[in-house]
Amino acid sequence: MKFLFDDESFSFEALRAAGYAAYAGADLGEVLVTCRQIPEADEKAWSTQWAETAARIEGIGRDALAGGHRVSAREALLRASNYYRVADFYRRDDPAHDPESTRLSKAAQQTFADAVPLLDTPARALTIPYEDTTLPAYLFLVDDSGTPRPTVVFHGGFDSIVEESYFAIAVGALRRGYNVLAFDGPGQGTPLRQGLYFRPDWEAVVTPVIDLALTLPEVDNDKIALIGMSMGGYLAARAAAFEHRIAACVLYDGIYDLHEPFSAVAAQGSSTPGGLDAVTAGNTGASWVARNGKWTFGKSTFDEVVEATKGYTMAGIADRVTCPTLVLDAENDQFFADQPERVFDALTCEKKLILFREDEGAGEHCHEGALFLFHQRTFDWLDTILAI
């Protein structure tokens, strides 16, 4: 759906930012006044205006905190965290050496971290042992009773950060009695900025997370659900094919072969006079995909990114997923059209496919702007599968 911009990428990211208003991650008026200052496809203005809004709202939060106004401080700091994330989104020319990108990323993390002690439900930061380093995580709890509860293990995808998971999944889960263990893996958030890049064998990432989860007294070891968002729809499916301590899996949304959309961009470049540069010059989304791909996969050219994505497929391994699996689909998905149906057809486990339609306001990729409907359908299914 079109939202505030004609530019498809700007429209989608504005909707994504605004959608988190459902769980105190945005305020609609702030989104509207920020976006009206941004010309179409002007990435510099996008970063500047969102950063200004983020700083203003952070200031409100800091003042409220100093004055002892806990709820006001929490609400403002949560919104600021989301807005800092949005401000950094298109800064992908050289993010590893871009001081402003680094500043915005740290600000998104810090404002969220400062909001965590102010939440109405317990939460704590964790580190997950991973190879010779650690991965950052948050454990969001229904209460402080220590009672073992069904637990969602959640990770994002191509461009997410663990702080975003609070809005994307955690609040909806907590309201329904689920604890949430959310983390950033290689290619995401802090691990990416520390030089860890995406890897196709995502079970090598999820298995250490499950190892840790099983040591936590708040986790019901028999009721762990894995949910992967966006590109995480492939990553979670891949992990579930090899990590069988998962009781249920949700592909949000389903991806069968990650190589195909990347190779489609490359093919468009090959068939266009001026090549990929000409394609990306006139397409904000394609430009961002190419730049973000080079960073998150640790490659110097987009051709190398396309080659690297060949290993990201469920072909030949989908039948190894044994846990019940929910595959979500979006009618207007501009990134992975038809992929959810393909992975659904390849699965041999107990499975369900849900299509989110445009006429119900949920047809965009990952159902941005329709969090309540997404959570209702997802958790109602999990309740049934896990016998909650």
Residues labelled as active-site residues: 230
Number of other CB atoms surrounding residue 355 within 10 Å = 14
Helix (H, G, I), strand (E, B) or coil at 215: coil
β-partners of residue 130 are 133
**Rounded CA gap, 285 and 83, in Å?**
19
Extract the tokens encoding 290.
Answer: 């190419």
- The full DSSP string for 338-382 is THHHHHHHH--SSEEEEEEPGGGT--SGGGTT-HHHHHHHHHHHH
Report the Cα 53 to chain-centroid distance in Å.
22
> Beta-strand (E) ranges in 68-218?
123-130, 133-140, 149-155, 179-183
Give me the numbers of helices (H) and strands (E) for the chain, helices first please: 16, 8
CB 142 within 8 A of CB 179: yes
How many Cβ atoms sit within 10 Å of the Cβ of residue 132?
5
Q: Phi and psi of 173, rounded to 5°?
A: -70, -45
Encoded tokens for 158: 């191509």
Distance (Å, whole) CA 247 – CA 386 = 8
Query: Are the beta carbons of 324 and 298 closer than 8 angstroms?
Result: no
Of 255, 256, 245, 199, which Cα lies nearest the Cα of 221?
A: 245
